[in-house]
A and B are shown apart, each in its own frame.
Chain A
Amino acid sequence: MRKLLLQGLLKAPLTEKGPDDAAVEALARELDAAARARLGRSLSIREVDAGSCNGCELEIHALGNAFYDLDRFGIRFVASPRHADVLLVTGPVAKNMAEALKRTYDATPGPKWVVAAGDCAINGGVFAGSYAVTDGAAAIIPVDLKIPGCPPTPVDLLTGLLALLKAGKG
Chain B
Amino acid sequence: MVNLSDLFARNGTLCRPWPRVSVNEAEWTGLCTELAAGRLTLSALFGDRIQGDLGAVHMALLEEATGRLALASLPCPTGAFPSVARHHPPAARLERTIRDLFGLTPVGAPDLRPWLDHARWGVRAPLGAATPDAGAGEAYPVLPVEGEGLHQIPVGPVHAGIIEPGHFRFSAYGETVVRLEERLGYVHKGMESLMAGRAPEEAARIAGRHSGDATVAYALAFCRAVEAARGVAVPERAHALRGLMAELERLANHLGDIGAICNDAAFAIMLAHCGVLRERVLRASARAFGHRLMMDRVVPGGVAQDITAEAIAGMKALVAEVRRAFPALVRLYDETASLQDRTVSTGFTKPDYVRQFGAGGFVGRASGRGFDARRALPYPPYDRLPFEVPVRSDGDVNARVWVRIREVEESLGLIIRLLDTLPKGDITVPVPAGGGEGVALVESFRGDVFAFVALESDGRVRRAHLRDPSWFQWPLLETAIEGNIVADFPLCNKSFNCSYSGVDL
Contact = CB atoms under 8 A, between A and B. Distances in A.
B336 to A, nearest CB: 7
A58 B213 contact: yes
B143 interface: no
A104 B209 contact: no
Interface of B: 116, 118, 120-123, 126, 135, 137, 157-158, 160-165, 185-191, 193-194, 205-206, 209-213, 215, 256, 269, 272-273, 275-276, 278-279, 282, 292-293, 295, 328-329, 332, 336, 499-501, 504
A160 interface: no
A153 B282 CA distance: 11
A126 to B, nearest CB: 6
Interface residues of A, number: 49
Contacts of A64: 275
B163 A95 contact: no
29 contacts: A1-B332, A49-B162, A50-B165, A53-B212, A53-B215, A54-B212, A54-B500, A55-B209, A55-B212, A55-B215, A58-B213, A62-B282, A64-B275, A66-B272, A66-B275, A66-B276, A79-B160, A79-B161, A92-B189, A94-B187, A94-B189, A94-B504, A95-B121, A96-B118, A97-B187, A127-B189, A127-B190, A132-B121, A151-B212
B269 A53 contact: no
A96 B186 contact: yes
Given A57-B163, A96-B118, A153 B186 contact: no
Contacts of A80: 160
B158 to A, nearest CB: 5
B154 to A, nearest CB: 12
Nearest to B282: A62
Contacts of A47: 162
B189 A51 contact: yes
A9 to B, nearest CB: 13
Contacts of B272: 65-66
A24 interface: no
A124 to B, nearest CB: 9
Nearest to B206: A126
B321 to A, nearest CB: 12
B501 A52 contact: yes
B332 A4 contact: yes
A66 B329 CA distance: 16
Contacts of A92: 189
Contact of A97 (B116, B165, B193, B209): B165
A59 B256 CA distance: 12
Given A59-B292, A62-B279, A54 B162 contact: no
B336 A53 contact: no
Q: DSSP class of B's interface residues: helix, strand, loop or mixed?
A: loop
Contacts of A94: 186-189, 504
B201 to A, nearest CB: 13
Contacts of B215: 53, 55
A120 to B, nearest CB: 9
A112 to B, nearest CB: 15
A66 to B, nearest CB: 5
A133 B500 CA distance: 16
Contacts of B328: 3-4
Given A4-B328, A64-B275, A126 B165 contact: no
Given A58-B293, A66-B276, A130 B282 contact: no
A157 B293 CA distance: 16
A27 B275 CA distance: 28
Interface string A81-123: 1000000000110111111100010000000000000000000
B126 A131 contact: yes
A96 B120 contact: yes
A39 to B, nearest CB: 21
A5 B157 CA distance: 38
A161 interface: no
Contacts of B501: 51-54
Nearest to A62: B279
A59 B116 CA distance: 27
A98 B121 CA distance: 11
A91 B187 CA distance: 8
A65 B162 contact: no
Most-contacted residue by chain A among B135, B209, B276 (CB, 10 A) = B209
A54 B188 contact: no
A150 interface: yes
A37 interface: no
Contacts of B185: 96
A60 B162 CA distance: 8
A130 B160 contact: no
Contact of A151 (B279, B293, B500): B293
